[in-house]
Structure 1
Amino acid sequence: MRTAVITGGSSGIGAATGKALAGAGFKVVLTARRADRLSEVAREIEAAGGHVATAALDVTDQSAVEKFAGRIDRCDLVVNVAGGAFGTETVSTADPADWRRMYEVNVLGSLQVTQALLPKLIESGDGTVVILTSTASFTAYEGGGGYSAAKHGQHVIAATLRLELSGHPVRVIEIAPGMVETEEFSLNRYRGDAGRAAEVYDGLDALTAADVAEAVTWAVTRPSHVNVDLLVVRPLAQAAQHKVHRRA
């Protein structure tokens, strides 16, 4: 059975991707920092007949990532979901610690997990790396400098890795969603202010975590000779990063 490792698997897009890939016949290995939440997601997957394992993991801890990879017997697919946005301050007022945190989890997290599992992906003879970025990876906007910078960093990892793996049996896929309403993303960005977090999605039907998970599953289940370099997925209401139609 093909094995998929998913980071950020305890909630949101990561959890939804785990469920979708299990439904597509993968054995899924869910990783995240919160073991209790991982167990809840795993129970749901098992109840639906899927094959799942879990591992508590902080993707910013290189030693822990390497130890985790050493315990994995097989890896055919890695989906780098772990990430996030912290703060909406301007470049002139932002706390560098927030930018550092975003860089470490989004960029270095994806780098370290991919590096650690790449030998097994190559060994599989038909491996796939997915990096979940954002439309922010190629469009800047006010108050999003740190997040856009981090997501651009992930975009560059995907583009560079695809060049460097030319001739090897590993596909590199970037999925770039627009506005996705999950239980935690905007809440973290607005530092726990539930009111401001909810306002982001007022008057529109944003993408759901399941929508993005379906896009990931579609991309990774194409024939082996087909590489989806970059898949941009937005809600209909979001014509561009700066143009969103909201119902009155």
Structure 2
Amino acid sequence: MNILITGASAGFGEALSKLLVAKGHRVIGCARRLDKLNILAESLGELFLPVAMDVSNIASLPQIIADLPDDFKQIDVLVNNAGLALGTEPAQNANLDDWIQMVDTNIKGLMGLTHAVLPAMVARDSGYIINVGSIAGSWPYYGGNVYGATKAFVKQFSLNLRADLVGTQVRVTNLEPGNVAGTEFSNVRYHGDDDKAAKVYDGFKNMTGDDVGDILLWLIESPAHINVNRLEVMPVAQTYNGLTIAKQDS
């Protein structure tokens, strides 16, 4: 199979790329940082094709897909993994540019690449789109504001794709991870403050990027007649909080 993965230069995307190449699949690894992709390509060999891609530049995406080499041109699986969270401030203190960047990447980029790839899957009556969402798309938390809203979009878009694709053999899954350590997620969220990022993962056993890579591989290799609509996963240490009440002093 040919699998296109966005955000392949680190975290889930890097872990999944390694697993897939080890299984003999061709991987189109896409990210903004071509230098990191090239380093990965050196270790993975000819089955890994590094492609510079900024998913927020929607206008560029159809041409990037059209220019893929013949051996990689048919995309059997699209893993929309690229995404980011920026900031943890309450909405009234948030940076509007951060909000816009999250929308451009998490929503518009995912839509744009799906739109570029999906028609060929439908024409072949075969394919799989895996969107990497988040538990933040279902469970609000302090400071999650626009990040959570973008992942709620990803969840509903995935479900609506399933509705549109009735009668075809094209599958769609929304994978919704909770807390995952060992990726760049919190470093990006805290604008490079490594100390703040590290504290997010203190004191409990986290999931890792490799764990999520294993889950993605399981989805990709699941029987073609089965569709996992949504898959929410958390470390055992993480669960749902109670509803918050701001009590007034009596």
Distance 1:28 1:39 in 2: 13
Instruction: Please say if 1:131 is aligned against 2:127.
Output: no
Distance 2:166 2:182 in 1: 35
Counterpart of 1:23 in structure 2 is 22
State the AA in 2 paired with 1:4.
I
- Contact 1:75–1:124 at 8 Å: present in 2 too? no
- Contact 1:80–1:110 at 8 Å: present in 2 too? yes
4+ long deviations beyond 4 Å:
none
Instruction: Please say if 1:71 is aligned against 2:70.
Output: no
- Contact 1:136–1:241 at 8 Å: present in 2 too? no
Distance 2:127 2:85 in 1: 29
Counterpart of 2:6 in structure 1 is 7
Counterpart of 2:51 in structure 1 is 55
Distance 1:190 1:127 in 2: 36
**Structure number with larger C-alpha Rg:** 2
Distance 1:153 1:182 in 2: 26
Q: Cα distance 1:141–1:125, how it changes in 2: closer, same or farther (>3 A)? A: same
Question: What SS class does the counterpart of residue 63 from structure 1 fall into?
Answer: helix
Counterpart of 2:37 in structure 1 is 38
Query: 1:96-118 deviations in whole A, cap 9, x for unaligned?
Result: 21111111101111111111011
The number of residue pairs the alignment matches comes to: 239
Question: What SS class does the counterpart of residue 226 from structure 1 fall into?
Answer: coil
Counterpart of 2:196 in structure 1 is 196
TM-score normalised by the chain length of structure 2? 0.91
Q: Cα distance 1:25–1:121, how it changes in 2: closer, same or farther (>3 A)? A: farther
Distance 2:157 2:39 in 1: 32
Q: Over aligned residue pairs, what C-alpha RMSD do you find?
A: 1.5
Counterpart of 1:246 in structure 2 is none
Matches within 5 A, 1:49-128: 51-72=47-68, 73-128=73-128
Distance 1:124 1:201 in 2: 43
State the AA in 2 paired with 1:172.
V
Distance 1:110 1:57 in 2: 12
Distance 2:143 2:197 in 1: 14
Distance 2:85 2:223 in 1: 34
Query: 1:146-175 deviations in whole A, cap 9, x for unaligned?
Result: 110111111111011111111122100111
TM-score normalised by the chain length of structure 1? 0.92
- Contact 1:76–1:124 at 8 Å: present in 2 too? no
Instruction: Please report how far the alpha carbon of residue 183 of structure 1 lies from its aligned counterpart in structure 2 after TM superposition.
Output: 3.6
Distance 1:142 1:4 in 2: 35
Identity, % of aligned pairs?
35
- Structure 2 unaligned spans of 5+: 244-250
State the AA in 2 paired with 1:194.
D
State the AA in 2 paired with 1:117.
V
